[in-house]
Chains A and B, each alone.
Chain A
Amino acid sequence: MTALRSPDTVMRLARMGASHPTRLSFMRVLLRGLADGGWTADRPLWEVDGDGVGRAVYRVRGQGQTYSLVAFAHDLPDELRSDRVIAEAWDATFALVDGEPSAEDLDRLAANVPKQEAGRVSDRELVLSRANRSGRLWAHVVDRLAEGRQPDAALIDEVGYLMRTTAVYGSGKFGAADHEALKGRALMDGPFRAEMLAVWLIRAFVADLAEHVARVRGGAGAARLDPALRRSLGIGNATGLGMAPFLVNHPDLLHAWIAARETALGRVRDLPVASADSRAAFSRALAGAQEAALRWRTRDPVQAAKWDGLRRDMARLSSHVADGALAGAAPWDALWRWAEDSLGLEGQEMCLSLMLEPHGELVDDLADTMGADEIAGFAIDGAIPLSLLREMLSDGFGWALGTDYAAAEASARFWYVSEAKLEPRLGERYAEPGAELEQPLDIARAAAALKRDLDGAGEASVAGFLAAYPRHRRIVRRVQALDRAPYREIRDNLLSADMRPIDMLRCKLAFFGATNFDPRSDRWLRITMYQGAPYPDELHAIPADGWLHHAGARLAEAAE
Chain B
Amino acid sequence: MSGTRTLAEIRATCTKAARGAGCPWGLAEEAGLAVRVLEAHGLPGVSVLARLFEGPRDCQPGCSAAPRCGLKAMAALSDDPRAVPKGHVAAPLLLAAPLLMAARKGAAAMLRWEGADIGCSGGGVVADGALDAAIAEGLSVETVALGTGVPRPPDWRSRPVDPAHWAALEALAARTLVPETEASRRAGAGPDT
Contact = CB atoms under 8 A, between A and B. Distances in A.
Interface string A84-105: 1110000000000000000000
Interface string A38-63: 00000000000000000000000000
A559 interface: no
Contacts of A183: 156
B190 to A, nearest CB: 2
Interface string A320-350: 0000000000000000000000000000000
Contacts of B27: 470, 473
Contact of A122 (B9, B26, B158): B158
A466 B178 contact: no
B180 A418 contact: yes
B150 interface: no
Contacts of A472: 26
A175 B158 contact: yes
Contact of A425 (B1, B7, B26, B187): B187
Contacts of B175: 437
Interface string B150-188: 000000111000000000000000111111110110011
Contact of A179 (B8, B24, B180, B181): B8
Interface string B4-23: 11111100000000000000
Contacts of B148: none
B4 A241 contact: no
A524 to B, nearest CB: 4
Given A172-B9, A474-B24, A425 B178 contact: yes
Contacts of A416: 177-178
Nearest to A375: B101
Contacts of A477: 26, 29
Given A375-B104, A462-B79, A241 B190 contact: yes
Given A418-B178, A462-B79, A463-B76, A378 B101 contact: yes
Interface stretch (A225-233, A426-434, A544-552): A426-434
Interface in A253-307: none
Contacts of A176: 6
Contact of A175 (B6, B33, B176, B190): B6
Contacts of A421: 180, 189
B4 to A, nearest CB: 7
Given A122-B1, A422-B177, A437-B177, A382 B190 contact: no
Contacts of A206: none
Nearest to A466: B79
A466 B75 contact: yes
A120 interface: yes
B178 A123 contact: no
A440 B1 contact: no
A560 interface: no
A93 B27 CA distance: 38
Nearest to B59: A470
Contacts of A240: 188-191
Interface string B115-156: 000000000000000000000000000000000000000001
A180 B156 CA distance: 6
Contacts of A476: 26
A413 to B, nearest CB: 10
A423 B189 CA distance: 8
Given A123-B157, A473-B75, A83 B190 contact: yes
Most buried by A among B5, B6, B157: B6
Interface string A408-450: 0000000011111111111110011110010010000000000
The 4 A-B residue pairs with the shortest CB-CB distance, nearest first, are A240-B190, A172-B8, A473-B26, A382-B79
Interface of A: 82-86, 120, 122-123, 166, 171-173, 175-181, 183, 238-242, 375-376, 378-383, 416-428, 431-434, 437, 440, 461-463, 466-467, 470-477, 520-521, 523-524
Given A419-B174, A425-B189, 20 more contacts: A85-B189, A172-B7, A175-B4, A175-B5, A178-B7, A183-B156, A240-B188, A240-B189, A375-B37, A379-B98, A382-B79, A418-B180, A419-B178, A432-B184, A434-B184, A437-B175, A470-B24, A473-B30, A474-B25, A474-B26
